[in-house]
Structure formats: C-alpha cells, structure tokens
C-alpha cells in the first residue's frame, strides 16, 4: 500500500476476501504482477523482508536490544520479535481493529503500551510473499515523503487509482 502518495481522502477498503486494507492507490502495470511466481509462497522469514526493506529508498536496518528493525530516519516501520516469527509493522490506527478482527489467525494488536503508535503484528507463517511485500511497502510509505513514495511506486510500475 502506497496510499500516502495520493491526496484523495482515504477510507478503508477490502480485498477479495473482505479483509480490511489500507487504501491501495497503486496497482501493477497492465495487471502484470512481476512477483507472480511468489504467489501463495510464504516469505522466508527475515531474509525476504530484509531484501525488500533494504531495497526501499532511505531505509536501513538496525538491531535494538537483539531485535531487527527497519527504519527511515529514526522512525521504525518494521520490527521482528526475538524469535523472528512475528513482524510488527506500521499501519493506520483507524484501520487496525478491523484488520485484526477480520483475520485474527494472522494479525494481532500490539501491547497496550504500543497502542499509541500506528502498529500491528503479523505471524509471518500466516502470510505469503505478496502480502508481506504489501505490508512492508505500506509501512515504509507511511514514513517517507509523498514524493519519495511516488517515485518508488513509478519505478515499480505501480499506477495510481483511476
């Protein structure tokens, strides 16, 4: 989700399964998904996320108290649990309850002390590589200037909603 790029008012939308998602203002060029070979394949934990996160402009990896985190400046947009089975990611506060309620086997709310942040947890074993890409790109897009997100979207062949 690179929804922060568009200036249009944002509202919750759902995917084909009715899962609430942040607004998707970009789609693959001509319906061609360059990651089609990954469809349905679970991400290979931290390594797949690391490869994607480090390819994003202004993103870098940090290890804080033994936990791997990915940041833009000082803002953390993705973080892993110590065991690497759970990934926390930036997500709009106003949509996270609906996301967690729609798929509680995948998503969970952060601890009470982290509820003030735009944050949700996901079990990596419960998502495929395409969903991981959407979550990481969406979290990253919340942290960078709109121009940077728009340039990245264009470089990936994503197009704005019509």
Residue 160 has a pLDDT of 65
Q: What is the pLDDT of residues 23-32, one digit of tens each?
A: 343 333 333 2
pTM, rounded to two decimals: 0.73
Segment holding 48, helix H or strand E: helix 45-55
pLDDT tens across 27-62, in order? Answer: 333 332 333 334 444 456 789 999 999 999 999 999
pLDDT recorded at residue 45: 75
63 pLDDT exceeds 80?
yes
Give residue for tokens 């110590």.
82
Q: What is the mean pLDDT of the chain?
A: 79
By the 10 Å C-beta count (0-12 exposed, 13-18 middle, 19+ buried), 81 is classed as middle
CA 79 vs CA 2, 41, 93, 142: distances in Å: 19, 21, 17, 15
Of the given ranges (38-42, 81-85, 104-108), which has the lowest mean pLDDT?
Answer: 38-42
Residue 85 has pLDDT above 70, yes or no: yes
pLDDT at 77 over 50: yes
> Which residue would you say has higher pLDDT here, 134 or 41?
134
Structure tokens at 100: 């967690």
The confidence score (pLDDT) of residue 159 equals: 75
Q: Which of 99, 120, 98 is nearest to 109 (CA)?
A: 120
């Amino acid at each position: 989700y690179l929804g922060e790029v568009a200036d249009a008012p944002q509202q919750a939308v759902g995917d084909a399964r009715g899962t609430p998602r942040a607004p998707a203002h970009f789609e693959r060029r001509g319906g061609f998904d360059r990651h089609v070979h990954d469809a349905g394949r679970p991400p290979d934990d931290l390594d797949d996320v690391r490869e994607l996160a480090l390819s994003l402009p202004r993103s870098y990896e940090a290890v804080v108290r033994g936990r791997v985190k990915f940041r833009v400046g000082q803002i953390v947009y993705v973080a892993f649990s110590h065991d690497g089975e759970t990934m926390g990611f930036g997500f709009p506060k106003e949509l996270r309850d609906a996301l967690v309620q729609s798929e509680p086997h995948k998503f969970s709310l952060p601890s009470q002390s982290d509820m003030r942040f735009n944050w949700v947890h996901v079990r990596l074993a419960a998502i495929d590589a395409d969903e991981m890409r959407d979550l990481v790109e969406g979290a990253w897009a919340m942290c960078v200037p709109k121009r940077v997100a728009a340039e990245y979207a264009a470089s990936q062949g994503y197009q704005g909603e019509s």
